[in-house]
Amino acid sequence: MDTGRPIYIGDGIIPQVERFASKYAFAKLTVDVFTTALAMLVEKAEQPTGNKFVFICNERMWFLVQKVLGKYLAEFKTEGTYLYSKQANGYVDVGATF
């Protein structure tokens, strides 16, 4: 107000995201559900690799993702190269960091 410039108010974050994003409903979160959601994102991407995706979720969903992926790592004794990340000095942090 002090500058005299107008303040523009948009639709808000949810309508903006919904224009480009897909919604995926599930009854129980599993690794298969998670990979299906990733596959849907890849379909919309310009290239199949090298992408960075953002998931918008509430706190409950965040903890479900941590639980499912943490359990996957523990039960399937994944190969270290499967979870490789150059940005993390060759390792991916596990535990509320997926």
Per-residue pLDDT reduced to its tens digit, 65-94: 888 887 887 787 665 545 545 565 555 555
Per-residue pLDDT reduced to its tens digit, 12-34: 877 877 777 777 778 888 888 88
Domain boundaries, the chain: 13-83
3-state DSSP of the chain: CCCCCCCCCCCCHHHHHHCCCCCCCCCCCCHHHHHHHHHHHHHHCCCCCCCCCCCCCCHHHHHHHHHHHHHHHHHHCCCHHHHCCCCCCCCCCCCCCC
pTM of the complete model: 0.56
